[in-house]
Amino acid sequence: MSVVGLLFLLMGAMAVGSALLVVTTARLVHSALWLVVTLGALAGCYLLLGAEFVAWVQILIYVGAVVVLLLFALMLTRAPTGVQTGLTTGNRVVAAATAGVVGLVLVTVVVAGFGGARVSVDEESVGSATSMGDAIFRHWVLPFEVLSVLLLAALVGAIVLSRGRASSGEETP
């Protein structure tokens, strides 16, 4: 087995194991921390696929920003740090059946559609920051600009939503 295959096995096992722990752990904060491991392993997979820029963006945005935000939200909602009971809903069996069927369908479709497909992981990296920048600003400028407006809207929305009730009451009596 090649080095890439071994690394993929390692990263994949890490990602699946820590994702299972995110879903099943009884401590809420641990769930956020296991999410970091999953996202890091996925960033490793992106590197294996030659998507260097996407891997670094994954680390920056997800591990750096999203998980920190989630931890802040856990603190703001006074989530207990200890082991808790009653974290899951009662429909565990139905949920497992639904998820199992979804997984079965996805795996079947993927294997049926791309069974013999090969990727060459030997050639040099295609997703470097230079080539990504070229592609974005040559072919994807409009979506990129729309995205900046979306981010601004999300920012304004979050500020409006998280303002206290007292201050909004003054302005709209």
Contacting residue, 10, 83, 87, 141, with other proteins by CB under 8 A: 87
Could you give the string, one character per residue 106-135, with x where binding to other proteins holds by CB under 8 A and - elsewhere?
Answer: xx--xx--xxxxxx-x----xx---xx--x
- Residue 78 — φ and ψ, nearest 5°? 50, 45
102 contributes a contact to other proteins by CB under 8 A: yes
Element (H, E) at 120: none
Angstrom distance (rounded) from CA 136 to CA 143: 9
59 contributes a contact to other proteins by CB under 8 A: no
The distance of Cα 149 from the centroid of its chain, to the nearest Å, equals: 22
- Residue 50 — φ and ψ, nearest 5°? 85, 5
Answer whether 71's CB lies under 8 Å from 35's CB: no
Residue 173 beta carbon to other proteins: minimum distance, rounded to whole angstroms: 19
167 contributes a contact to other proteins by CB under 8 A: no
Closer of 1 and 170 to other proteins (Cβ): 1
Residue 163 beta carbon to other proteins: minimum distance, rounded to whole angstroms: 9
Could you give the string, one character per residue 3-22, with x where binding to other proteins holds by CB under 8 A and - elsewhere?
Answer: -xx--x---x--xx--xx-x
92 contributes a contact to other proteins by CB under 8 A: yes
157 contributes a contact to other proteins by CB under 8 A: yes
Residue identified by tokens 């696929």 is 49
143 contributes a contact to other proteins by CB under 8 A: yes
56 contributes a contact to other proteins by CB under 8 A: no
Nearest alpha carbon to residue 74 among 42, 36, 39, 33: 33
Closer of 116 and 173 to other proteins (Cβ): 116
Burial class (CB in 10 A: 0-12, 13-18, 19+), 58: buried
